[in-house]
């Protein structure tokens, strides 16, 4: 049983022993583990980790060295690194036999299963482009991404395929492979590589040959936008490999701030409590787990009791992902029934977090909290800090990694503002994706000379610690899930009684925020809140359905340019 601590961890005398600048000068020097070099990426000179793996084939080579150690645990299924490599090699061969080659799009639609990372790595190590789809999407939403990406082959669990099948006519799909079931007209993944528990019996084969450059595309990762439809961020092999080094940097920086030596490589057991299709999972977690030899414990879906049971059973040392996860563990009334003492770190990003969560993690578990900032367009992590730095700056998401640069710019997108001034956050570095798939106008608006215009309002202090103040984009993040306001608004507009509608985020202690709507009905028309919520639920994924719908007696407030004043709507909802 875990007993809460009564105090924050003791800050070592004289902490910090070294400044951020001193640590970077030391650890990034020539011959050091975090040495950097400048390369040209899409015409722009860019700092990169010199020792980063060149591609996801390199990640697979590193993973293979961990042999019989457990790589992934799912229920009673356990898959070693050796068995995983055998499955990836076998699936790559099967994909080659089906005509999949460099640049072809292969979509992946399934829950967190051992097959998910096998498909991800098999496709990318072949030089093809993986298209991971949101497992919570409706059939129509899944079909949109398949069409938009021009997917040639789909690998899905049978539940996801059953959603897609009614919308499959007219899609560019040439073949479908399903796992954990069977479907008419589809091959079974188990017939190609077997079930995960049998992967260890597959031939110990080399990966089929493929020529891959670091800046070749690796995946199309669908993200938020203001156009009513998600956009596909085109991530590269360099983007994903960069995160391995960036994660290691955060631990090294923490140790040096204390005056300690570099931390030794350590095998960790990680409870993956967020969906694998999230950048936090596939980029910030999966890549480092494969390269470093740690173990992923998968949940079918989030369940706090099951999570605590697994932490106790598997001696989980790390978990998190989004603040919601941490709050659920902290506040569950049965927490004291489980031994959670193995937890060493709880780290998260991807959603607003309350400053009091930082101390709550330490006081409850004796685990060190961590927080970072990133987005799909940055392949997850750009900033990160943990332990004493985070405890001392609980509102901050940390400093940028040495290979990244942050600027706070004025509304003109050019003027760089001084420290501690709020403006729009721009980021640069080798983690920035190549642009949006088949969206040249959106790409030009968001990606400028190697920089990404994030749409987040932030400030950076004199030491380089970044604090996100608000989001300029109309995106609501509910427990780590992006909700595009205009998409929900467009559905509300489809209802015959609605003539004006807007979606805003309202605060939620554990989820960060939830979607709420304000609507104006046509004169003489009638509709109830329950009716409108059901109307949205029939057309969009459940997490996008407004938790509240308020009715305005007049059209919604707008500025001189006709844009709805959502700040006023938030105030209206707070008063109702």
Domains 56-66+81-235 and 475-575 share a fold: no
Q: What is the pTM of this model?
A: 0.87
Q: What pLDDT, on a 0 to 100 scale, did the predictor assign at position 226?
A: 41
Q: What pLDDT, on a 0 to 100 scale, did the predictor assign at position 352?
A: 63
State the Cα–Cα distance between residues 501 and 564, nearest whole angstrom.
9
Per domain, the residue ranges of the chain are: 56-66+81-235, 475-575
Helix (H, G, I), strand (E, B) or coil at 320: strand
User: For helices 115-125 and 56-64, what crossing angle results, to 10°?
Assistant: 130
Q: What pLDDT, on a 0 to 100 scale, did the predictor assign at position 526?
A: 93
Half-sphere exposure for 188 (CA within 13 Å, toward CB):
9
- Residue entry with tokens 């709805």: 564
Residue 554's CB is within 10 A of a number of other CB atoms, namely: 7
pLDDT tens digits along 186-208: 999 999 999 999 999 999 999 99
Q: What pLDDT, on a 0 to 100 scale, did the predictor assign at position 337?
A: 96
Please state which CATH number belongs to domain 475-575: 3.30.300.30
State the Cα–Cα distance between residues 574 and 576, nearest whole angstrom.
6
Given a contact cutoff of 8 angstroms between Cβ atoms, the answer to whether 75 and 121 are in contact is: no
Which CATH code of 3.40.50.980, 3.40.50.880, 3.30.460.10, 3.50.40.10 fits the domain covering 56-66+81-235? Answer: 3.40.50.980
Helix (H, G, I), strand (E, B) or coil at 495: coil
Q: Which two tokens stand for residue 427?
A: 């980021």
pLDDT tens digits along 250-273: 999 999 999 999 998 889 999 998
Q: Burial, 373: exposed, middle or buried (Cβ in 10 Å; 0-12, 13-18, 19+)?
A: buried
Phi, psi of 49 (to 5 degrees): -70, 120
Spatial neighbors of 576 by CB under 8 A, at least 6 apart, are 550
* Spans of the chain below 50 pLDDT: 2-6, 225-227, 560-561
């Amino acid at each position: 049983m875990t007993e809460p601590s009564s105090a924050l961890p003791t800050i070592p005398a004289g902490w910090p022993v070294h400044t951020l600048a001193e640590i970077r000068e030391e650890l990034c020097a020539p011959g050091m583990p975090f040495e950097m070099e400048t390369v040209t990426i899409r015409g722009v000179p860019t700092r990169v980790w010199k020792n980063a793996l060149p591609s996801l084939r390199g990640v697979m080579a590193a993973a293979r060295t961990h042999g019989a150690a457990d790589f992934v645990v799912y229920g009673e299924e356990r898959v070693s690194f050796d068995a995983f490599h055998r499955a990836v090699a076998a699936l790559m061969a099967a994909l080659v036999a089906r005509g999949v080659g460099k640049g072809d799009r292969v979509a992946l639609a399934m829950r967190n299963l051992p097959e998910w990372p096998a498909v991800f790595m098999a496709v990318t190590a072949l030089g093809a482009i993986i298209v991971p789809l949101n497992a919570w999407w409706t059939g129509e939403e899944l079909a949109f991404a398949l069409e938009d990406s021009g997917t040639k082959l789909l690998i899905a669990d049978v539940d996801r395929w059953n959603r897609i099948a009614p919308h499959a006519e007219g899609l560019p799909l040439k073949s479908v492979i399903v796992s954990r079931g069977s479907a008419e007209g589809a091959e079974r993944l188990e017939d190609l590589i077997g079930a995960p528990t049998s992967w260890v019996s597959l031939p110990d084969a080399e990966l089929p040959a493929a020529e891959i450059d670091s800046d070749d595309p690796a995946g199309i990762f669908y993200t938020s936008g203001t156009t009513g439809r998600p956009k596909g961020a085109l991530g590269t092999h360099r983007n994903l490999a960069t995160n391995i080094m960036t994660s290691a940097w955060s631990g090294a920086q923490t140790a040096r701030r204390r005056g300690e030596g570099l931390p030794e490589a350590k095998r960790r057991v990680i409870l993956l409590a967020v969906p694998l299709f999230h950048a936090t999972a596939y980029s910030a977690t999966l890549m480092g787990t494969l390269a470093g030899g740690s173990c992923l414990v998968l949940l079918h879906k989030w369940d706090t009791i099951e999570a605590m049971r697994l932490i106790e059973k598997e001696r989980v040392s790390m978990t998190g992902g989004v603040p919601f996860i941490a709050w659920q563990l902290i506040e569950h009334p049965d927490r004291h029934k489980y031994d959670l003492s193995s937890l060493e770190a709880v780290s998260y990003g991807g959603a607003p977090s309350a400053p009091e969560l930082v101390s709550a993690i330490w006081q409850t578990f004796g685990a060190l909290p961590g927080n970072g900032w990133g987005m799909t367009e940055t392949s997850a992590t750009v900033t990160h800090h943990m332990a004493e730095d985070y405890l001392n700056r609980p509102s901050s998401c940390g400093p940028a990694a040495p290979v990244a640069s942050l600027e706070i710019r004025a509304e003109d997108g050019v003027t760089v503002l001084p420290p501690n001034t709020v403006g729009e956050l721009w980021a640069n570095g080798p983690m920035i994706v190549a642009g949006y798939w088949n969206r040249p106008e959106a790409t030009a608006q968001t990606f400028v000379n190697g920089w990404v215009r994030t749409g987040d309002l932030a400030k950076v202090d004199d030491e380089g610690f970044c604090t996100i103040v608000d989001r300029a984009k109309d995106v609501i993040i509910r427990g780590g899930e992006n909700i595009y306001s205009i998409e929900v608004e467009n559905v509300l507009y489809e209802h015959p009684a609605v003539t004006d509608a807007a979606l805003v985020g309202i605060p939620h202690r554990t989820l960060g925020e939830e979607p709420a709507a304000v609507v104006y009905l046509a004169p003489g028309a009638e509709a109830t809140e329950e009716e409108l919520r059901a109307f949205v639920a029939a057309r969009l994924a459940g997490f996008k359905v407004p938790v509240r719908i308020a009715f305005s007696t007049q059209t919604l407030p707008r500025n001189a340019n006709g844009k709805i004043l959502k700040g006023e709507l938030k105030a209206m909802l707070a008063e109702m």
